[in-house]
Chain A
Amino acid sequence: MSNTASRLRRSLALLTLTVAAVGLAGCGGTSASPATGDAPNANRAAAAQGISSDLNLEQCGKETRTIKHDLGTTTITGTPKRVVALEFSFVDALVAVGMAPVGVADDDKPERIIPGLKDKVGNYKSVGLRATPNIQVLTALKPDLILADSGRHKAIYAQLSKIAPTVAYASLNGNYQQVMDSEMSAAIALNKCDQMKARLAEHDKILTDLKAKAKSGETRKALFAVSSDKEFTGFPPKAYTPGVLALLGIKSPLADDSGDATVSLTLETVVSTKPDIMFIAGQTGDTLADTWEKSPLWKQIPAVKDNATYKVDQNVWSRSRGLVASELIAQEAVKNLYGN
C-alpha cells in the first residue's frame, strides 16, 4: 500500500520535473526581448526630422507638459534645471539642448562618456552603476528631472518618481529610432523643443552629408561586433549601431529575425555570414577576435581579405547611443570606407 503510494508520488514528482523542463524550453522559445518587443512606433512614418509621429510635440513650449513615455505619463511644470541621466544616451540628449547633467550613472568610469560630450558635460556627480544607481546620491542632488532607462530602471521607477518627475525610454536596448524619439521626448520634458529640433535638423544634415560621401547603392554588408575574452557579440540589424550604418546605406549581414538585441557568434557564423566590412569594438586585453586573427579561416572572411576590418571604440560605437555618438559612428565609417 505505502509502496504504491510512494511510487505514485515519485512518478508525480518526476512528471512535475519533466513538465517544468518542457515548459522551460517552450517559454524560452517564445520570449521576445523587451527592447524589440515594444517598438510599435519604430517603423511609423516620421513627422519631423526622423521622429515618430506619435510623440506629443503639441506639448512643446507649454508651461505644464504631459510627457508620454515607456513607463507611463508624467507631467512636468516649468523648465527643469537639475537633471540626472541614468544612461549615456540621455547625457547626449542634454548636451544636444545645451544643458549638462548634474548627475550621471556612469558606472563610476568617467571615461565612458565619449570625448564629443565630455567637454560639454563638465563637472557632474557620479550616481554609480547604471544597473543600480545610488538613490541616496540621486536624492541629494535635488534633481528636477530624471531620465531613466525603461528596462533597467523599471523596478525603481516608483522611487525615482518620488525624487523628481522621471521619464523612461528604451536606451540600453533601444534601436536608432527609439533613441531618436527619446531625444525629442526628453527635449519636450526639458522644455527645449526648439533647441532639439534645431539640433535634430543639424543631425539630419550631418548624416545626409555623410551619406552623400558614401557610395550610393552600396552592396557591401557591414558587421558590427563587440569582442571580449570569451564572446564575440554581433549586433543584428534592429540594434542601434547597425541602424546608424543603415542610414548610410550600409546593411548588416545578420538575419533580421532573431528578436534579440545581441547575438553570440562563432568564427564559423562570422565566416558564413560573409561580412564585407567589419567594425570590431575590442575590449581591453586579449579578446576572442585577437585569437581568431591567427586562424587561416579569418583570412577567408571577405572583410579581412579586402582589408576592411576596423577596430573601433566601444564607448562610442555601442555604449553611448546618442546624436553625437551616431554622428561619430557615421563619420568614422565613412572615413574608413570611403576615405573622406
Chain B
Amino acid sequence: MTQSTGIAPGPAETAVHRRPKIVTSKQRVTWVALFLLALLVIGVVWGLSIGSQHIPLSRLPGAIFKADDSDELILQSIRMPRIVLALLVGAALAVAGALMQAVAANPLAAPEIMGVNAGAVFVVVLAVTVVPSLSGAPTILLAFGGSAAAGVSVMLLAGSGRGRVSPVRLALAGVTASSLLISLTQVLIIFDENSADSVLFWLVGGVNFAAWGDIRNLLPWLVIGLVGAFSMSRSLNLLALGDDMARGLGQNVERTRLLGSAFVVVLCGAAVSVAGPVAFIGLIVPHIVRRLAGSNYTVLLPLCAAAGSVLVLYADILSRHVKPPYEVPAGVVTALLGAPIFVYLARRQKVTSS
C-alpha cells in the first residue's frame, strides 16, 4: 500500500539516511545561517532606504529614538513596520509550511495548497462585507476559524487522518478546495463593489500598508506559533521516522499531529488576516532550506523562519519596482517566483502510482 499509493520518499527515509550527515554538516548549517543573516541585514537596510522619499540612512538612529521630523517619521511609522511585518509574515508562513509537511508527512503539504490561506481569506472577506466596521484583532480570530475549517476539511477529505495519503491526492484536494473558496471570495467582491479596491489585496496579499497596530495584533499569535513550533522539533524529528518508529520511541503521534496542526492554523491565520495570502512561501521555503541544511527540525525550523523572512522582504522590495512609485502587493512577486519552483517540485515527486 505504502508504495502503490505513491508516497514520495518523504522525510521518513531522508531523515534516516541523512542523520549522520547532519552532524558532519554542522559547518554547512552555520554557513547557511550566516548567509541568511547577511541577506537579512542587507534586505533590511535596502528596504529601509527605498521609497518615494529619499532618506539617508544616517537618520535611522533618530528615527528609532525620537522621530520628530517627517523623514524620521517615514522611517519609523512606514518603512520599519513594513519591514517588520514582511519578516514576521515570512517567518510565520515558512514555519507553518515546514510544520505542515512534517505533520502530513507529505512534501506538498503547504498552507496555500491545503486551502488554509484561502479559508482565512474567505472568512475575513465575508466578515468585512457583512460587518464593514469589523477590523483589527477580531478578524484574526475569524481567520483562525477559516483556516482551521479549510485545512482540517482538506486533510480529512484527502484521508490524511490515517497518515497515508499520496502527495497528488492531497494537492488535488487542496487545490480544489482553494479554488472553491477563491471563487466564493471573488463573487463576494463582485457583488459588493465597495470593496473592489481591496480585491487585489485579498487575492494576492502584501505588506504595503503595514502599521505598528497590525504588528501588535499579530505578534502575540506569532510568538505562540513560533515558540510552539520550535519546541516541537524533537517530536517532529521522531515523526519523520515514520509513525510506527515514532510510537516505538514513545511518541504520542496523534498528539504531535494535532498540536502541529493547531500551530499551523495559528501561524497562517494570523499572517493571512494581516497580510493577505502571500503565495508559496510555505511551500518553497522548507524545500529550499531542507536542501541546504538537512532535515533536522531543530535547525530546519529556525532557518525556515529566517529564509521565509528573507524571501518576503526581498519580494516586497521587488514589488516596489513593478510600478514605481506606486505600490503593488508583494504577493504578486512571491507568486511569480514561487510558481516555477512549485512546478519543479511537482516534477521531482517520485510517483510510483498504479
Q: Please report A residues at the B interface, Cβ cutoff 8 Å.
A: 14, 17, 21, 28, 107, 129, 131, 226, 228-233, 255, 258, 263-269, 271-273, 283-286, 288, 291-292, 294-297, 300
Within 8 A of A (CB), among B93-149: 128, 132-136
Residues B73 and A285 in contact, CB atoms below 8 Å apart: no
Binding site for A on B (CB under 8 A): 51-53, 67, 70, 73-74, 76-79, 128, 132-136, 190-191, 193-195, 197-198, 200-202, 208-209, 211, 213, 276, 322, 325-328, 336, 340, 343
Task: For A28, give the chain B residue with the smallest CB separation.
Answer: B322
Number of A-B contacts (CB under 8 A): 104
Contact A295 B211 (CB under 8 A): yes
A-B pairs with beta carbons under 8 Å apart, 28 shown: A21-B336, A28-B322, A228-B194, A229-B198, A230-B276, A231-B197, A231-B198, A232-B209, A233-B197, A258-B326, A263-B326, A264-B208, A265-B327, A266-B209, A268-B51, A268-B74, A268-B79, A283-B132, A283-B194, A284-B132, A285-B128, A286-B135, A291-B211, A294-B213, A296-B67, A296-B77, A297-B77, A300-B73
Would you give the shortest CB distance from B125 to chain A, in whole angstroms?
10
Question: How far apart are the CA atoms of A231 and B202 in the complex, in Å?
Answer: 11
Q: State the Cβ distance, A14 to closest chain B Cβ, in Å.
A: 8
Given contacts A228-B197, A272-B53, contact A285 B132 (CB under 8 A): yes
**Further 19 A-B residue pairs, CB within 8 A, beyond A267-B78, A296-B67:** A14-B340, A129-B191, A226-B197, A228-B197, A230-B197, A263-B326, A265-B326, A265-B327, A266-B327, A268-B51, A268-B78, A271-B53, A271-B74, A272-B53, A291-B213, A295-B73, A295-B211, A297-B73, A300-B73
A294 and B276 CA atoms in complex are apart in Å by 22
A264 to B197, CA, bound (A): 9
Give the residue name and chain of the A residue nearest to B211 (CB): A291
CB < 8 Å: which of A230, A285, A296, A300 contacts B201?
Answer: A230
Nearest CB on A from B200, distance (A): 8
Q: Which of A229, A284, A295 contacts B77 (CB 8 A)?
A: A295
Which residues of A lie under 8 Å from residue B74 when comparing CB positions?
268, 271-272, 297
Instruction: Label chain B's interface by main secondary structure.
Output: helix
The answer to whether B326 and A229 touch across the interface, beta carbons within 8 angstroms, is no
With A265-B327, A269-B52, A284-B194 as given contacts, are A230 and B78 in contact (CB-CB < 8 Å)? no
A314 — nearest CB in chain B belongs to which residue? Answer: B194
Q: How far is the CA of A125 from the CA of B212 in the complex (A)?
A: 47
The winner among A226, A272, A292, A300 for most chain B CB atoms within 10 A is A272
Give Cα A306–Cα B73 distance, bound, in whole angstroms: 18
Q: In the complex, are the beta carbons of A107 and B193 less than 8 A apart?
A: yes
A264 with B327: CB separation less than 8 A: yes
Question: Which B residues are CB-close (under 8 A) to A297?
Answer: 70, 73-74, 76-78
CB-defined contacts of B132 to chain A, threshold 8 Å: 229, 283-286
Q: A255–B133 Cα gap in the complex (Å)?
A: 33
Q: A231: which B residues are within 8 A, CB to CB?
A: 197-198, 200-201, 209
B343 touches A229 (CB 8 A): no
- A228 to B198, Cβ gap below 8 A? yes
Chain A contacts for B327, CB-based, 8 A: 264-266, 269
A300 in contact with B52 given A284-B132, A286-B135 (CB within 8 Å) = no
Given A21-B336, A131-B190, A231-B197, check contact A266 B77 (CB 8 Å).
no
Cα–Cα distance between A95 and B336 once the two chains are bound (Å) = 48
Residue in A14, A230, A231, A255 with the greatest tally of chain B CB atoms within 10 Å? A230
Residues of B within 8 A of A268 (CB): 51-53, 74, 78-79
A17 x B73 contact (CB < 8 A) = no
Q: How far is the CA of A106 from the CA of B70 in the complex (A)?
A: 43
Do A272 and B52 touch (CB < 8 A)? yes
Residues of A near B336 (CB, < 8 A) are 21
Cα–Cα distance between A17 and B340 once the two chains are bound (Å): 8
Among B51, B70, B77, B343, the residue within 8 A (CB) of A17 is B343
